[in-house]
Structures are given as structure tokens and as C-alpha cells.
Amino acid sequence: MLSFRVEPEVAEKVREMAVSLGIPQSEMMREALRRHLNELVAQHDALVYQENPLTPEELAFASVERWTPAEDWSEWADAAG
């Protein structure tokens, strides 16, 4: 459980927005905190990647995403019925 103080103006905005959205204030705050933490984690991951880029071995399968089927199977699209 977390508990913290905010300025009265912020608390009022939270109340107004929660009422406007029709959700409990606590749900809105949990979602806002979750999104902010996700953003911070993503920023941290980006920094880690910059400091430790992938090795050639780790990039070995990068070209796989451009592979296509050896044959044209498009006529089978309606085979399921």
C-alpha cells in the first residue's frame, strides 16, 4: 500500500477527472502510476541497450523477419471454407 500527499489543486483535478471518467480515484491513480513506471522502465531499457548493443550472434536471426514462404499459398486462403 502506498500513501502520499499532493497539492490540493492536484487532488481536486484527480477528483474531477475520476468523476468525469466514472472510475474510482484509486483506480485512476493506480493506472497512472503503472503507466509512469512502464515509461521509466522503457527509458532504462533503452539506456541499457545503448550501453550494451546486441552482439552479432544475437543479431543472427534478425533477417528471419524478412523471410517469406518458398511457395505462394495465397490461393489457399479460402480453403478453410
pLDDT at 66 (0 to 100): 66
pLDDT at 80 (0 to 100): 61
Please give the angle made by the CA atoms of 17, 20 and 26, to the nearest 5 degrees. Answer: 50
- Domain, as residue range, for 27: 8-62
pLDDT at 65 (0 to 100): 64
In b/e form, how buried is each residue of 20-42, taking b as 16+ CB within 10 angstroms? eeeeeeeebeeeeeeeeeeeeee
Q: What is the pLDDT of residues 12-66, one digit of tens each?
A: 999 999 999 999 999 999 999 999 999 999 999 999 999 999 999 888 877 776 6
Number of domains in the chain: 1
| 33 or 73, higher pLDDT | 33
Residues 6+ apart with CB under 8 A from 78: none
pLDDT at 13 (0 to 100): 97
pLDDT at 37 (0 to 100): 97
